[in-house]
Amino acid sequence: MTPPVGHRPATPPGRRGATPLLALAALVMALAAGILAPVIGLAPVAPARAADTDLTLVTDATYEVRPDDRLVHVTLDVVARNHKAETRTRKFWVDRAYLAVLPRTKGFRVSGLPGASVHVAKKTATYTLLRIDFGARLYGGSAKAFRLSFDLPDAGASARGQVRIGGGLASFPVWAFSSDGAKGSTVSVTFPAGYEVTVQTGTFDRQAPAPDGGTLLETDAIASPTTWLAYVVGEREAVYADTSLTVRAGDQEILLTLRAWEDDPAWAGRVGGLVAQALPVLATDIGLAWPHADPMVVQEAVTRSTGGFAGLYEPSESRIEVAYWADHRIVLHEAAHGWFNGTLLADRWANEGFASLYAARAAVALDLKPGPPALTDEVAASRLPLNAWPQRAEDDDAASEAYGYAASYELAGLIAERAGDDALRTVWADAAGRVGAYQPPADGGGEAAGGTAAGATPAPEILAAAPDWRSLLDLLEEHSDERFTDLWRTWVVRADELSQLDLRTAARISYQRTLALAEGWALPVAIRDALRAWRFEAAEQLMADARTVLAQREAVETRADRHGLAMPAAMRRLFEAGELSEASREAQAELDAMLALEGAIAARHADPDILTRIGMLGADPEADLATARASFGTGDLDAVHAASARALSAWSEAWQEGRRRALFGVAVLATVIVLASAIVGGVRRSRRPDLRRPTPA
């Protein structure tokens, strides 16, 4: 299963020790208890001036989750005690107190004190300051008990709301309350039945079933209530409402399914509207069409269900999870993960870095604040090689996670600035098609090199998997005139991987040298495969063997050019097929064939004498030479040897053959003359009169 990609560091309410809103809330509580100490829980009267602990407020706080009302009802049972000692001549009293409670609370009521009232003295984004009038004086050495109640309502659809109260989710911060220096306040939280409750930040002393079947969280007396803080989440099985959305990006229709909680239709409107604007911008900037044929599900999620992160892309399920409180930066980042995930690039840092980069650029295009992860000095203190950044998020290593996101974004920006948008789009196109670097020449190569017999453009050589950090570096340098090795040294590789960069540099120099020697011949695919796999020792050996064959080719071509011969195709075919030993033997055989041809040519007579001419009657060595030349071009070396041998024989044996033929002719002529003389003599004798025969009477 492809590991989930697309985590965004959560800045939600409730992340352990790293939530900005909670940290700010804690700071506010400390300020409220410290800086406001002269007024919180204390209203001194003349002529006495009360100390910080003269008036204490100790509370038992009860939080009751009411999902049907979409709020948490908070009740504080307060004991106000004036510790100031009185004398017979001086009385000390207070008639009011100030108390900081959670922000965005409302419905304040006070009971248990006749004439008491509560008013909002100040509202800020991080706290609400209440003025509680007792309705009567509280003299030194005495105490009053009363009840303060208020409601903490659901924050609604706004992104990054700390408080979410509904049928499927109840998540909110929990404070303890007291005056500065007071001890002993307690907190309890009750959830109705059906919620799975998790304490994400802070601690409770007990978690147990409530009498009504719900869940009860309780603390014992708290030593420092003004610094105590918790964040709790109650989750029921979600009930979703699906909304189909079609987004047009150029000529393409992108199909989405917005899967929001049934009681939160506003989330679908907010997130869906942003995604609809962002996808066309991202598609144009990245240069790739949306890579998903089936509808992509964009699903509302709880922080915990996304592994503690605000966003999660699950490629195996074609689903993006976005936390209910996530803002536009998270949504744009997750939308960019529609491209940058384990399918396009292999390494987490590359996917996260370029998703952040393109999300930030999309934000600018949409007139939104980009807000990418910042590589501050504090974040940079957790520096690690990005190759050492775990492929899966580690909840217990927030510092490394923060550095990984910030550094990967920084590196992506440096790469983009150096390469340029056009080169990046070409890289992404190759990555999407799994096309690796070191492709054979675009102008051809034989069939063995991936082309056609006619020398057409070869088919691309495909990687077995999505490009990792090695292949990404190769592709960047393949499609750009810039070098990126220095960035890899600074940001990416571990210490034990640095030597690979050195070997790569040497191998690429060797590769360029070998390519230049090849002069259009495609190097064997085994060389390109070894370079793509970063098996540089094997690549170097193969390239050395290839250069040996290319040197033999040069010798063959030089000799062939001398005689105006066309080069046979066999050596190139064997070379490009990686059969280097066979190619070397073929080169030697071609040299031997040309030596045979040269021997025949050397035997040619420039001014043959009569006997040579007689000896060559019936032979045509020039035709044999022409046959040998033509056979060499077609690679029929046996025919070259045969035709050359005939021509050599014709020329070298012509005089002897002429002499033999001349002698034979003379002999024949003498025989003819002798025979002719004999015949003529016989005829003459037959016609001469016989003198010995008597003459008749």
- DSSP E strand boundaries for 159-285: 164-165, 169-175, 186-191, 196-201, 206-209, 215-218, 229-235, 240-249, 252-261
pLDDT at 455: 53
Q: Please, what is the end-to-end C-alpha distance for the chain in angstroms? A: 146
**Residue 499 CA, distance from chain mean position:** 23
The position carrying tokens 């994400």 is 200
Buried b (16+ CB within 10 A) or exposed e, 360-390: bbbbebeebebbbbebeeebeebeebbbebe
pLDDT at 324: 87
Q: How many Å apart are CA 254 and CA 672, to the nearest integer?
A: 106
Residue 644 tokens, joined: 């050359």
Q: Are residues 357 and 414 in the same domain?
A: yes
Residue 360 tokens, joined: 């930030």
* Number of other CB atoms surrounding residue 664 within 10 Å: 10
Residue 110 is part of a domain; what is its CATH number? 2.60.40.1730
The position carrying tokens 């208890």 is 33
Residue 415 lies in a domain: yes
Rounded to 5°, the CA angle 455-593-447 comes to: 15
Residue 78 tokens, joined: 């307060």
Q: How many Å apart are CA 206 and CA 289, to the nearest integer?
A: 53
Q: Are residues 197 and 289 in the same domain?
A: no
Residue 5 lies in a domain: no
Domain of residue 165: give its range. Answer: 36-235
Instruction: Tell me the CA distances in angstroms from 330 to 21, 265, 326, 399, one per residue in order.
Output: 17, 19, 6, 19
Q: 610: Cβ–Cβ under 8 A, 6 or more apart, which residues?
A: 658
Tally: H helices and E strands in the chain: 18, 19
Contact assessment for residue 427 and residue 419, using Cβ atoms and an 8 Å cutoff: yes
Burial class (CB in 10 A: 0-12, 13-18, 19+), 681: exposed
Contact assessment for residue 259 and residue 242, using Cβ atoms and an 8 Å cutoff: yes
Ordered alpha helix ranges (H), 479-620: 485-487, 498-518, 525-532, 536-562, 570-576, 580-602, 610-615
Residue 691 tokens, joined: 């003198």
Q: Are residues 246 and 193 in the same domain?
A: no
Residue 180 tokens, joined: 């500065």
Q: How many Å apart are CA 319 and CA 316, to the nearest integer?
A: 8
Q: Are residues 287 and 213 in the same domain?
A: no
Ordered alpha helix ranges (H), 3-65: 20-34
* Number of other CB atoms surrounding residue 406 within 10 Å: 21
Would you tell me the crossing angle of helices 536-562 and 525-532 to the nearest 10 degrees?
150
Nearest to 83 by CA among 116, 112, 51: 51
Specify the number of domains making up the chain: 3
Q: What percent of the chain has pLDDT over 70?
A: 81
Residue 69 lies in a domain: yes
pLDDT tens track for 559-605 = 999 989 999 999 999 999 999 999 999 999 999 999 988 877 877 76
**Residue 295 CA, distance from chain mean position:** 22
* Residue type for position 198: T
**pLDDT reading at 41 higher than 60:** no
**pLDDT reading at 26 higher than 50:** no
Average pLDDT over residues 602-611: 65
Average pLDDT over residues 525-531: 97
pLDDT tens track for 84-131 = 887 777 788 899 999 999 999 999 999 999 999 999 999 999 999 999
47 cis-preceded (ω within 30 degrees of 0) = yes
Residue 484 lies in a domain: no
Average pLDDT over residues 464-490: 97
Pairing of strands 196-201, 186-191: unpaired
With residue 571 as reference, give the H or E element that holds it.
helix 570-576
Instruction: Tell me the CA distances in angstroms from 543 to 254, 474, 527, one per residue in order.
Output: 47, 18, 7
Residue 360 is part of a domain; what is its CATH number? 1.10.390.10
Tell me which of 372, 403, 419 is where a domain ends.
419
pLDDT tens track for 403-459 = 999 999 999 999 999 999 999 999 999 999 999 999 988 765 555 554 444 456 778
Tell me which of 216, 235, 254 is where a domain ends.
235
pLDDT at 44: 33
Q: How many Å apart are CA 534 and CA 537, to the nearest integer?
A: 9
Q: How many Å apart are CA 522 and CA 443, to the nearest integer?
A: 10
Nearest to 347 by CA among 385, 394, 308: 385
pLDDT at 31: 40
Would you tell me the crossing angle of helices 580-602 and 637-652 to the nearest 10 degrees?
20
Residue 627 lies in a domain: yes
**pLDDT reading at 8 higher than 80:** no
**pLDDT reading at 14 higher than 70:** no
pLDDT tens track for 358-414 = 999 999 999 999 888 999 999 999 999 999 999 877 655 889 999 999 999 999 999
**pLDDT reading at 204 higher than 50:** yes
Q: How many Å apart are CA 37 and CA 118, to the nearest integer?
A: 18
Q: Are residues 144 and 244 in the same domain?
A: no
Pairing of strands 319-323, 296-301: parallel
Residue 311 lies in a domain: yes
- At residue 675, φ and ψ (nearest 5 deg) are -60, -45
pLDDT at 640: 87
Q: Are residues 89 and 179 in the same domain?
A: yes
Please give the mean pLDDT across all residues of the chain. Answer: 85
Residue 7 lies in a domain: no
* Number of other CB atoms surrounding residue 690 within 10 Å: 5
pLDDT at 108: 98
Q: Are residues 263 and 282 in the same domain?
A: yes
Q: Are residues 84 and 178 in the same domain?
A: yes
694 cis-preceded (ω within 30 degrees of 0) = no
Q: What band does 352 get if pLDDT is binned at 50, 70 and 90?
A: very high
pLDDT at 384: 96
Among 102-111, 304-313, 608-617, top mean pLDDT goes to 102-111
pLDDT tens track for 622-643 = 777 888 889 999 999 999 899 8
Q: What is the pTM of this model?
A: 0.77
**Residue 113 CA, distance from chain mean position:** 65
Tell me the β-bridge partners of 96.
133
Sign of CA dihedral 476, 482, 483, 486: negative
Q: What band does 694 get if pLDDT is binned at 50, 70 and 90?
A: low
The position carrying tokens 């008491």 is 116
Residue 481 lies in a domain: no
Q: Are residues 194 and 223 in the same domain?
A: yes
pLDDT at 665: 64
Q: Are residues 190 and 86 in the same domain?
A: yes
Instruction: Tell me the CA distances in angstroms from 295 to 44, 242, 319, 445, 487, one per residue in order.
Output: 67, 12, 9, 42, 37
Least confident of 200-204, 304-308, 498-502: 304-308
**pLDDT reading at 307 higher than 60:** no
The 3-class SS string of 298-365 reads EEEECCHHHCCECEEEEHHHCEEEEECCCCHHHHHHHHHCCCCCCCCCCCHHHHHHHHHHHHHHHHHH
Q: Are residues 128 and 272 in the same domain?
A: no
Tell me which of 419, 453, 474 is where a domain ends.
419
Q: Are residues 226 and 252 in the same domain?
A: no
pLDDT at 597: 85
